[in-house]
Amino acid sequence: MEKKSTRTAYLVAVAAIVVLLAVLAMNYKDVETGFVGTCWALLPPVVAIALALISKEVYSSLFVGCLVGSLLYTQFAPWDAIVQLVGGDYGIVTTVSDSYNMGIIVFLVMLGIIVDLMNKGGGSEAFGRWANTSVKSRCGAQLMSMLLGCLIFIDDYFNCLTVGAVMRPVTESHKISRAKLAYVIDATAAPVCMIAPVSSWAAAVSGYVQSDNVNGIEMFIKQIPYNYYCLLTLLMIVVISVMNIDYGPMLKHEYNAQVKGDLFTTEHRPFEGDDEYVQPANGKSSVADLLLPVIVLIIACVIGLIYSGGFFDAESGAYQNVIEAFSNADASVALSIGSLIGVVFTFIYFWVRKAVSFEKSFESVPNGFIQMIAPILILSFAWTLCSFTRYGLDSESFVVGALAGMEELKKVLPAVIFILGAFIGFATGTSWGTIGIMAPIVVSVFNYDVEPTLCVIGLAAACAGGVCGDHCSPISDTTIMASAGSHCYHLNHVFTQLPYAITVAAVSFVSFLIAGFLQNTIVCLAIAVALMIVTLLVIKTVTEKKHADMIAEIKAAQK
């Protein structure tokens, strides 16, 4: 908030929030249920998002959002609000100390240690060397990032951080901005997990729609070809990489990276100095020094997932199959187990290779934690905000009421569900939470025994909307992870990704409208793909006319 205009806008926004809260306090003080289950349940995340977009500062914005949530939950009792904010049922201490969230924090720290070890052992430097000779173009570097993201389909958190660690030296060598890398990572992570039958996301969604008449995994698989936002997002990465299309704030970031050699554009330099790759102690490094720890980490996390899902539990006399194990998996436990195994292997590997001395290697422990302080802080506030919104203020009841009485519009309802899911995902910053709210509603609105196709399309719309809102939201956990993985300033990633996500969302909305009437898998998907390609071609034409000089300089720098 350095500019005077930004500071003024921020103060005006805060003043407006204070006035609104004062009006609410006077009008709701005698209402027994307070704000629970009303539209005001979505006010805390709206406040946080608005302040973040105005101030471009995420920590204070999230904290204010949490404070508003606490005030609404306690009906403006000052002392109770402070107690609830810090250590209440949905407060910061309670939320962060939740076993699932603690598992994610442990995973973050472990991965930070592995990355720092790979830098000290020369793995990152060797991979960057290899990339300079093997990956010949910017298009190749972007598509390689996407391909790696597609291969790591088991969990979006794991995807974001691992792809970022591996691909930073590759994209840096081809002058791809950190904002563009963050977009490719974020746009691959959740969409791939959402269309992979064996993933932590498949397990979550199948659990939300499980019933006596509907098999959760079967429903999840059937919704994949109708999940337009996820499929079209992956298509968009391919098209913009091959055709070299950039627009919105991303164009400025790519211009600065390619013409000026500035990968960040803004003065913010997250993790500054952490990407200065060094030679190992023995002076010899190879690509295996990066790939082996990553491969072991992936294998260990997959084993952790099926273990936490009961795959190796023989108490019943027979092992569960893999699909059942993934359906019952606890991603937090699995990633903690996998990352711990990965850390131990990486330490031993570099000791045996004599790439890092015993004493030097343990410097990676505090360094890895330090690298993850920023995402952990943002996640902690985001989790608390979501907790107040979803559980404390019961935003789900408001959503159920908003959908009530719309059964007569069933053919357009998938498109409505998509937009509503996107709004909830944007406001709460969680696609899982959004799908958890929307999926049971979809199954109840569309009777699968009577309207199986519409039920599947509705579920796809709920899943797609959750991912879309998650992509657009500055308080989203996966958006935060993508920023951390790419070492990109968080709000730079948010602002540059937003136009891209909105483009896919608009095409997806039209596609869901068409699908509601045609209800034909192949025809509807073909129409959606054609609409996406045509839309990007139009954007490319308009952008080249509007920014001809900038694009000419970029093309000259690429030669």
Our CA dihedral for 433, 506, 474, 105, rounded to 10 degrees, sits at 40
194 and 47 in one domain?
no
- 106 shares its domain with 18: no
Task: Examine the fold and report which residue of 326, 349, 372 is the final residue of a domain before the chain moves on.
Answer: 372
Question: CA-to-CA distance for 530 and 538, rounded, in angstroms?
Answer: 12
Q: Does 31 lie in the same domain as 120?
A: no
Task: Give pLDDT, residue 317.
Answer: 43
In terms of domains, do 10 and 123 share one? no
Does residue 512 form part of some domain? no
Q: Is residue 397 one of the residues assigned to a domain?
A: no
Q: Establish if 540 belongs to a structural domain.
A: no
Cβ proximity of 456 and 222 under 8 Å: yes
Helix ranges (DSSP H) in 74-155: 78-87, 92-96, 99-120, 123-134, 138-151
CA-angle at 414, arms to 409 and 417, nearest 5°: 100
Q: Do 201 and 342 share a domain, yes or no? A: yes
- Structure confidence at residue 304 (pLDDT): 85
Q: Are residues 350 and 297 in the same domain?
A: yes
Best CA proximity match to 491, nearest among 20, 183, 56: 56
Instruction: Check residue 193 and give its pLDDT.
Output: 80
Report pLDDT for 216.
66
* Domain annotation covers residue 395: no
> Is there a domain that residue 242 lies in?
no
Q: pTM value?
A: 0.74
pLDDT of residue 400: 67
Angle at 288 between CA 287 and CA 293, to 5 degrees: 120
CA distance 233 to 139: 16
Distance between CA atoms of 73 and 28, rounded to whole angstroms? 12
Answer with the one of 88, 113, 138 that is the final residue of a domain.
88
12/138 same-domain check = no
Structure tokens at 139: 């298009």
DSSP state, residue 429 = S
pLDDT of residue 251: 93
196, two tokens? 């992979």
Other CB atoms within 10 A of residue 267 CB: 7
Question: Do both 297 and 149 map to the same domain?
Answer: yes
Same domain (yes/no): 80, 130: no
My answer on whether 161 and 301 are in the same domain is yes
pLDDT at position 48: 82
Amino acid, single-letter form, for residue 460: A
395 half-sphere exposure, CB direction, 13 A CA radius: 29
Number of domains in the chain: 2
CB 263 within 8 A of CB 177: yes
Check residue 233 and give its pLDDT: 96
Q: Name which of 323, 325, 329, 334 is nearest 217 in CA terms.
A: 323
Assigned token pair, 455: 């039920």
SS3 272: coil
What's the rounded Cα separation, in Å, for the pair 136 and 140?
Answer: 7
What CA–CA distances, in Å, run from 139 to 109, 132, 181, 259? 32, 13, 12, 17
The answer to the question of residue 533 being in a domain is: no
| Dist CA 61 CA 212 (whole Å) | 44
Calpha distance 467→273 (Å, rounded): 33
Are 234 and 359 a contacting pair, CB within 8 Å? no
Final residue of a structural domain among 351, 372, 393: 372
CB neighbourhood size of 251 (10 A): 19
Residue 48 is part of which domain span?
A: 1-88
CA 369-169-116 angle, to 5 degrees, is 20
pLDDT the model gives residue 318: 47
Same domain, 70 and 158: no
How far is residue 41's CA from residue 154's CA, in Å, rounded to a whole number? 32
CB neighbourhood size of 180 (10 A): 28
181 with 283, same domain: the answer is: yes
Average pLDDT, consecutive stretches of 10 residues, N- to C-terminus, the chain (559 residues): 71 88 76 74 82 76 88 87 87 86 83 82 75 81 87 72 80 90 92 75 63 65 91 95 93 91 82 59 74 84 81 58 69 83 92 86 86 77 81 76 64 88 81 72 73 87 91 85 88 93 96 92 94 95 89 79
Of 416, 334, 360, whose CA–CA distance to 155 is shortest? 334
Instruction: Give a yes or no: residue 172 inside a domain.
Output: yes
In a domain, 483, yes or no: no
Task: Tell me how far apart the alpha carbons of residues 441 and 458 are, in angstroms, rounded to a whole number.
Answer: 10
